[in-house]
Structure 1
C-alpha cells in the first residue's frame, strides 16, 4: 500500500415450553405431603416426573437444529476496505473509515478512507452518508442513544499513515452531520470500544511505540472522560464485547506484530472497576471483530503470518466456555461486525494479511437455541431431586407455606422455574445475575459451584448466594432482568419470596445450632439423583 510503513506492525506486507405445575388440588396436596414423608423418595420422584415435570425439558422441544450456525451472503459494500469500524444504529449498519484499495482518487490521502457507508438489512441496500471530518483507520465506533461516536485510530501525517490520534467525533444520523467532542486523554489506534450503562469504554491499543494499557470512559451526556483501571495485559488489534453487565476484552497482538498474537480474555466489571482473567480464546488471533447475540459473544476472523482466519468461536459468559462455530465463507482481518435482529453482519476486511481489501458482507445466523443445541432432554432425576431437597429443608425449618395453598404452589413453581432459568436461559441478564451472585459470595470458587448447580440442580450454597444477592441493592437493569424472568413465568417477587424463605430457614436452623447446608446435604442424600449429574452438555447453558 502506498505510504505504508514496512514493519512488522501489521506486517504491512501482503500475506417456552415452560414447566407447569399440576392444577388439581388433591395432587398438589399429595406432592407436598410426599415432601414431608421423606421416606418415600421413589414415589415422590415418579409423581414429579410424570405429573409435575411432564413438559419440562433441558433443551426446548423444537426439532434438532444445526449446532454451529449458518452463513449467507448479502449485498456487498460499495467500497472495498480494510481496518474499518462498524456499528448498528436504528436497525442499520454503519461502516466507517479504514483503508481503501489504492487508486488515483485516493492516492493523495495515502488510501486512508473518509467514507461512511450505511447498509439497510431490510432492503439489502447501501447508501453513502456525510464523510468523516478526517480520514481514519483502526478507529473505534460505538452507538449510544441516537448517535454514533468514532474514537481514536490512526491518520495521515506527512508521508506516514500511522499517526495515533485521540479524537472523538459524533455523528447525528437525522442531520447527517459530524461534530467534534472532547478527545480522549491517550492517543492510540487499533483499540477496542464497548458501551456499558450509556458510556463508552476505550480499551488498549497501540501508540506506534508501545501497547497502551489505558482504559478511559467517555460520558456522552457530560462530554467528559474518566480514567479507569488499566488493562492487565496491554495489547492492540483486540476486540471488546459486553453482555450488559461486564465487558469482555478478547485476543489481540503485542506491539503491532501479528506474529505475536495472544489468546487472552479479560472480564471488566465497571461497577467494581476491576479486571478478571477468563478462559482463553481457543485460537490466538488479532485483527478480529466480536458481536453479542442472545447473550453469547461471537468472535470472527483475524490474521497471522500464515494467513487470515475463517474461524468463528462463541463464548458463553455464564459458563466461561468457548465453542467452535461454522467458519466464515471468507477469511478476513480488519473487518467490522454488527447485530441487527437475529443476525450478525460481518463486513469488509482484508482477505490476506497486511494490505488487502474486500467489500464482503457475510451474514452469520447462530443456532436458534444457541451453540451446542442438541435434541431436547427431559428433566433429570438430579434436577428433580434437588428441588425436593430444598423443599424438604424448608419444611423441616417450618417456613414452608401450608400444603395446598397458593403460596405453597408458588414456592414449588418458583424453585422449578428459577432452576430452569439458571440451567438454560440464553438471556445475558439472567445468566449475569446468577454468575455475579455466586462470585460475590464465593469468589473464584463461585463459577465451579454454579457449573455444578447447572448439572445437578440447586445446592444450598448456590441458593444462599442467590438469596443474599436478590435481597441486596439492585445493581443491574431491572427491566431487562424482569423480561428474562418472564420467559420462565416467574417474577422478581417470586425470587424475593424464595430468598426470604431460605433466609428465614437459615436463621431458624442457626437458632437450633444447626447448619442449613448440613440439613440440605442430609435431605439431598435421600432424594432422586443423589450424586448424579444431569446429561446436559456444557454448551447448552450460558
Structure 2
C-alpha cells in the first residue's frame, strides 16, 4: 500500500472513531448512562508502565516514571503522536506529578523494588523545554514517604499522607507544604487518617483526599484495607474534616488518580481486593450535593497512571490493567466532552 493510501485509510478510521465518540456522548446526555471512553488511534505508542504519572504541561502530555527506568513518553494531542524524552536519573514510581512554572515536579515518590521500596529524599524536576532532569528541594528526613498525594495551590506544594516503607508499613497522616518561592517546608495539621496509593485535588479552595488504602504487607493485607471516607482540608482555615458517611466513596479503591474539573472532584480507575481487574469507572464528587456519581467508564480498566483534561476532552494512558503489577498497558484513551 502506498504512503498516500495509508494516510487516507488512517484519516477514515480516525473520522469513524470521532463519530463513535460523539454518538456515545449524545446518548449519555439523553439517558444519564455513564459515557464510555474510546481507544485513541495514535502514531507510535508509549512504553507500557504503571505506578507512573500522566500530566499536561504547555499543551503536551507527559507519561513518566513507573517500575524500572524508562524514558519520558511525550504525547502531542494535536497530531496524536508519541515521541520520547530523557530517562530519569533513577527509578521513580508511586507519585502524583504537579506543574509549576512550566516544569513538572515529582514529590512524595518511591524508588526500589517491592515490597520495601524507599522514599526518594528530594524532589525531582523535569523541564519539558530542555528535556532535562534535575534535583529540587530536599525533603526533611523525618517527613519522607512515598505513595503520597501532591497538589499545588497558591504558590505552595502540598504533600499529603503516604507510606514510609514501601508496601510493608509506616503509614502516615502528614500534611506538609513547600513554599515554592523560598524552598521552605512547613508542617501542617495531620489528616484524620492515614492513606497511601491515592491522589489529591483542590476544589473550591479545599483539598480533597479520597481513595487510597492502608497498604499493609506486614499483615498480608496489601490490597484489602481500602478507605471509603473522604477527608477535606480547608486551606484558608487550616482545618480538616471528614465528610458524613453518606458521602463515602461508593466503591473504595486505591491506585486511583484524581483531578479537579468543572468545580467537581474526579477520581478514576484504581484497584482493590474485590476484583482482579482494575476499575474502569470514573467517579465524580459534587461538593454542592455531597454525592458521588459514576459519570464515565474506561474501555479498559487501569490503575497507577493519571488523567488529563485538555481542550474539551479527558485523556488517560498506560497503567496496570489488573490488580497489582500487570498487565502493564501502553494504550491511550479519551473522552470528548461537550
- 1:146 aligned to 2:112? no
Answer yes or no: is the 8 Å Cα contact 1:144–1:199 preserved in 2. Answer: no
Offset at residue 140 of structure 1 (A): 2.5
- Structure holding more strand per residue: 2
- 1:218 aligned to 2:178? yes
Structure 1 alignment gaps of length 5 or more: 1-62, 100-111, 369-542
Q: Give distance in 2, aligned partners of 1:114 and 1:79.
A: 8
* Alpha-carbon spacing, 1:244–1:85, altered in 2? closer, same or farther (3 Å): farther
Q: Give distance in 1, aligned partners of 2:118 and 2:313.
A: 35
Q: Give distance in 2, aligned partners of 1:336 and 1:64.
A: 25
Q: Give distance in 2, aligned partners of 1:213 and 1:280.
A: 19
Q: Give distance in 1, aligned partners of 2:136 and 2:112.
A: 20
Task: Count residues in correspondence.
Answer: 292
Answer yes or no: is the 8 Å Cα contact 1:154–1:161 preserved in 2. Answer: no
- 1:322 aligned to 2:292? yes
* Alpha-carbon spacing, 1:211–1:122, altered in 2? closer, same or farther (3 Å): same
Q: 2:197 aligns with which of 237, 257, 272?
A: 237
Q: Give distance in 2, aligned partners of 1:351 and 1:189.
A: 22
- 1:128 aligned to 2:88? no
- 1:362 aligned to 2:327? no
Q: Give distance in 1, aligned partners of 2:29 and 2:242.
A: 34
Offset at residue 89 of structure 1 (A): 0.9
Computing the radius of gyration from Cα coordinates, the structure with the larger value is 1
Q: Give distance in 2, aligned partners of 1:320 and 1:269.
A: 16
Matches within 5 A, 1:8-157: 65=30, 67=32, 68-74=34-40, 75=42, 77-99=45-67, 112-156=68-112
Q: Give distance in 2, aligned partners of 1:155 and 1:292.
A: 27
Q: Give distance in 1, aligned partners of 2:29 and 2:186.
A: 48
Offset at residue 133 of structure 1 (A): 2.1
Q: 1:175 aligns with which of 130, 139, 143?
A: 130
Q: 2:163 aligns with which of 181, 206, 217?
A: 206
Q: Give distance in 2, aligned partners of 1:171 and 1:215.
A: 24
- 1:272 aligned to 2:237? yes
Offset at residue 114 of structure 1 (A): 4.0
Matches within 5 A, 1:421-440: none
Offset at residue 290 of structure 1 (A): 1.2
Provide the residue aligned with 1:427 in structure 2.
none
Matches within 5 A, 1:389-428: none
Q: 1:292 aligns with which of 247, 260, 268?
A: 260
Offset at residue 249 of structure 1 (A): 0.8
Root mean square deviation of aligned Cα: 2.1
Answer yes or no: is the 8 Å Cα contact 2:303–2:321 preserved in 1. Answer: yes
Provide the residue aligned with 2:120 in structure 1.
165
Offset at residue 202 of structure 1 (A): 0.9
Structure 2 alignment gaps of length 5 or more: 1-27, 217-221
Q: Give distance in 2, aligned partners of 1:365 and 1:277.
A: 33
Answer yes or no: is the 8 Å Cα contact 2:36–2:298 preserved in 1. Answer: no
Offset at residue 64 of structure 1 (A): 5.5
Q: What is the CA deviation profile of residues 66-88 of structure 1, one whole-angstrom value per residue up to 9, with x for unaligned ones?
A: 53334122237420001001221
User: TM-score when scaled to structure 2?
Assistant: 0.81
Q: Give distance in 1, aligned partners of 2:249 and 2:189.
A: 22
Offset at residue 65 of structure 1 (A): 4.3
Answer yes or no: is the 8 Å Cα contact 1:155–1:161 preserved in 2. Answer: no
Offset at residue 120 of structure 1 (A): 1.5
Offset at residue 289 of structure 1 (A): 0.7
Q: What is the CA deviation profile of residues 496-519 of structure 1, one whole-angstrom value per residue up to 9, with x for unaligned ones?
A: xxxxxxxxxxxxxxxxxxxxxxxx
